[in-house]
Structure 1
Amino acid sequence: MNTTILIADDDVNIRRVTQLYLENEGFRIKIACDGKEALDLLEQEKIDCAVIDIMMPYVDGWELCEKIKAYYEIPVLMLTARAELDDTIKGFKLGTDDYLTKPFHPAELVMRVKSLLKRYRVALEHSINFNKVLINRDSYKVQIKDEEFLLPTKQFELLYMLASQPGKIFTRDQLIESIWGLDYEGDERTVDTHIKKLRKQFKNYEDILHICTIRGLGYKLEVLS
């Protein structure tokens, strides 16, 4: 079955051109003219990735993104007419996986959609393998070149989450909710402490595996060649 992409945008020209480019790459497309239509389609169809505009009637992109992330395990690419830092921060805090500012070239949108889908497929597997790094979720071991590391559970889960989607920014709240759970009563500094321990553990391999701090947001993992 073809991979299905949902395009939710109230601009007919944006819908047409993105549909054309994505269909030319073999994707199956579902179209929504507003956030409400998008939610209806998500209930009716198996959607693999959502491309959503922020400014839409009935249900805007912010609310739509929040609902998608609450109920569906799919990547979200948000489209916006403004390159405002506050919008970007708000989008990532709601769980969006990537951000594209209008006007954009449709070929770039296609490239970003493909990248998101690849990252999500990796996230569903039990091991991650890249650039002489093997992270095995079954054994909780990390192997870099010929050296093997056995990490404490929380450190491993934190590394695995970051490595499952290289380049994706995870907020501290998202990391805490996923790894420590909704009932966790500590604060965000717990994440910072574990990141510091991971950096110390892998200090000899910063040229391969680098955890970046994104000021005001959280962390992302960069895979360096």
Structure 2
Amino acid sequence: MSPSVLIVDDDPDIRNVVRIAVERAGMVVHEAADGRSALEQLGRTHIDLVALDVGMPGMDGFACCKAIRTRSSVPVIFLTAHDDEIDRVLGFELGADDYVTKPFSPRELVLRIKAILARGQPAGTTEAIHGDLHIDFNRHSSTLGGVDLGLTVTEFAVLGVLLGRPGFVIDRNAMIDTIYGGNTSLSGRTLDSHVRNIRAKAKALGYEDVVETVRGVGMRLGTCTA
């Protein structure tokens, strides 16, 4: 079945440009002109990824993403005219998987969509356990001490890479390449935002050491024990 992408933007011209590019890539496209319409579509239609504009009237993209995360872990890419770090950090804290600044290349957006969707596809090992951390790649399930962590697709991918080599320090650039693929200009700050989210979710369950940073080198999986 072809992936289904929901494009949410109040500008019909942008929706049209993105729709053409995404459909040419073999995906099914749904459209919404505002946040509330997007939430309604998510409630009645199977969606594999949401491309979400930030600056919409009424319910903006941040509010929409926050509402999405209360009901779904569907991947979200923000489309925004702003390139401020504070906006990027807020977006990732709300659970976004990626961030594309306008004006953007439709081809680049399609590549990022494909990269995110590929993160949800299991390959090789189907399950992995380290301390109290248990990941099931087929079910896209991640639990800590038996409790669901509620990770986004990208957060899940970050833990998956670390769990592939427990105890080893992984260079940040190597991790970005593994998770996002070679077609990316993402900075280490983007990865750091996802790691902060993982740590916050783990801390809420009483775990302080899920991801350890080795300054100047990279990061590694902690003991994952309370």
In 1, the alpha carbon distance for the partners of 2:61 and 2:156 equals: 29
Change (3 A) 1:90 1:2: same
State the SS of the aligned residue for 2:29. strand
In 2, the alpha carbon distance for the partners of 1:155 and 1:41 equals: 32
In 1, the alpha carbon distance for the partners of 2:156 and 2:79 equals: 28
Matches within 5 A, 1:3-14: 3-14=3-14
Shift of 1:44: 1.3
Tell me which residue corresponds to 2:175.
none
State the SS of the aligned residue for 2:121. helix
Change (3 A) 1:100 1:136: same
- Pick from 174, 180, 195 the counterpart of residue 211 of structure 2: 195
Tell me which residue corresponds to 1:54.
54
- Pick from 165, 190, 196 the counterpart of residue 172 of structure 1: 196
Tell me which residue corresponds to 2:116.
116
Matches within 5 A, 1:17-96: 17-96=17-96
Tell me which residue corresponds to 1:152.
131
1:32 maps to amino acid: A
Alpha carbons 1:62, 1:91 under 8 Å: kept: yes
Shift of 1:211: 2.7
Change (3 A) 1:30 1:194: closer
Unmatched runs of 5 consecutive residues or more in structure 2: 136-142, 145-154, 162-178, 181-190, 221-226
State the SS of the aligned residue for 2:70. helix
In 2, the alpha carbon distance for the partners of 1:5 and 1:22 equals: 8
2:93 maps to amino acid: K
Change (3 A) 1:25 1:171: same
2:56 maps to amino acid: M
State the SS of the aligned residue for 1:121. coil
State the structure with more CA Rg.
1
1:172 maps to amino acid: R
2:196 maps to amino acid: R
- Following TM superposition, where does structure 1 have runs of at least 4 consecutive aligned residues deviating by more than 4 angstroms? 154-161
In 1, the alpha carbon distance for the partners of 2:100 and 2:199 equals: 23
Change (3 A) 1:171 1:67: farther
Shift of 1:107: 0.1
Give the share of equivalent positions with the same residue, in percent. 31
Change (3 A) 1:99 1:107: same
**Number of residue equivalences:** 174
In 2, the alpha carbon distance for the partners of 1:103 and 1:65 equals: 21
In 2, the alpha carbon distance for the partners of 1:34 and 1:76 equals: 15
In 2, the alpha carbon distance for the partners of 1:163 and 1:87 equals: 24
In 1, the alpha carbon distance for the partners of 2:195 and 2:63 equals: 18
Alpha carbons 2:119, 2:157 under 8 Å: kept: no
In 2, the alpha carbon distance for the partners of 1:38 and 1:82 equals: 21
State the SS of the aligned residue for 1:115. helix
TM-score normalised by L of structure 1 = 0.67
